[in-house]
Amino acid sequence: MKHSERAGEPDKRVLRREILTVRNELTADDVRESATALARQALGLPELAHARTVAAYVSVGSEPGTLALLDALRARGVRVLLPVLLPDNDLDWGAYAGEGSLVRVRHGGRMALLEPAGERLGPDAVTGADAVLLPGLAVDARGMRLGRGGGSYDRALARLERAGAHPALVVLLYDSEVVAHVPEEPHDRPVHAVVTPSGVRRFR
């Protein structure tokens, strides 16, 4: 069975399209204001207050902004790991050393990503994180996350499971992206919390 034919995948495609349409209408000011509020909410999380290593990502385009949060975590002395997309869609990781340490990388015809320029730490580096900040498009009342469909974070989450690692899994979204239901597939795993500009919601 092809990936696109799996149960839940057509519904996911529809939901992705709807959410991306709304995101694309956001102004630069909307994104900037949301990023400031998002950082403030996330920095209050106990899971981040006690973390020594946090795996995160650099937002691009109209995604909920993460740079303010990355810089604040680094200022606290937290080691921040950022993903590097590999040709097979898996993720390698590198340490964040400030905005000047990021390079813009275009992978095929897709949107360019900002990735760490320094040493590559290997795909297993994520297993040493105390918390993992995940990108997404939506989350539902059970904590099921809707990703962009590339499967990179599914692999990272499967790697955590195989390693017996149990970091806090937190997705960063806009308020309107907390929805009633996200279609799920057998490999999908719930997150522990969602942070939006207006607050934090936890899942069992």
- Tens of pLDDT, residues 5-57: 455 666 888 999 999 999 999 999 999 999 999 999 999 999 999 899 999 99
- Tens of pLDDT, residues 113-144: 999 998 999 999 999 999 999 999 999 999 99
Give the strands of the sheet with 193-196, arranged side by side.
91-95, 79-85, 53-55, 131-134, 168-172, 193-196, 199-202
Whether residue 2 has pLDDT greater than 70: no
Neighbours of 153 (CB within 10 A): 23
> The domain at 3-202 falls in which architecture?
3-Layer(aba) Sandwich (3.40)
- Tens of pLDDT, residues 176-187: 999 999 988 888
pLDDT the model gives residue 3: 40
pLDDT the model gives residue 188: 82
Mean pLDDT score, 89-111: 89
Whether residue 74 has pLDDT greater than 80: yes
pLDDT the model gives residue 167: 96
Angle at 83 between CA 194 and CA 195, to 5 degrees: 10
Sequential DSSP letters for 15-81: HHHHHHHHHTT--HHHHHHHHHHHHHHHHT-HHHHT-SEEE-----TTSPP-HHHHHHHHHTT-EEE
- Tens of pLDDT, residues 144-178: 999 988 889 999 999 999 999 999 999 999 999 99
Residues 6+ apart with CB under 8 A from 101: 116, 117, 118
